[in-house]
Amino acid sequence: YEITYGDWSSDVCSSDLIVSRLVSMLTQVVSTLLVLGAIGAIAWVYLLGRVDREIRSAVENQIAQQLGSSGLRVTVGSARRVEGRGIELRNLRIARASEATSLLDLEEVFLVCNADVERLATRQIDIQHVEIKRPQLRIVEDAAGRWNIPSFAPKSSAMKKPPTISL
């Protein structure tokens, strides 16, 4: 065989040398693909985490906006998009801004909706159903004799058609 390509230039190469160099090249290609795959997997996990953080922030803001200027603080422990099903929220808490104790604790909330990334990016989420697990409501009377329940009522224009809710 006569090979005149790159550093393989020689008058005659044995088949063992050719196989050895091909194996070496394939090993380098596979190693490179594995490294690129690992980088891609890390990037994918990072992006999914970022999407979940954005969902959590958007939910907190949306609920706070619907409650208006009622002096309530909304926090969501975690949120994640469930492909083909909706959005799962964990540890949703509503408290008076001036108090540490929550008025409403929802351990788990599942929003049944189309949670495609495109819809999430444009914030066009149509929630069909809300599933709530282990809710805890603390009804409190303040020093002036007012109960905290009316402060949970959303603004009248908050939703066109409210979703169904199951506990």
Rg from Cα positions in the chain: 28
pLDDT digits (tens, 9 = 90+) for 68-120: 766 788 889 998 888 888 889 999 998 877 777 888 899 999 988 887 766 66
Using a 10 angstrom Cβ sphere, with 0-12 exposed, 13-18 middle and 19 or more buried, the burial of residue 73 is middle
For 90, other C-beta atoms within 10 Å of its C-beta total 15
For 56, other C-beta atoms within 10 Å of its C-beta total 20
- pTM (2 decimals)? 0.62
pLDDT at 44: 64
Q: Is 28's pLDDT higher than 90?
A: no
Going edge to edge, which strands form the sheet with 102-113? Answer: 72-82, 86-96, 102-113, 127-137, 164-166
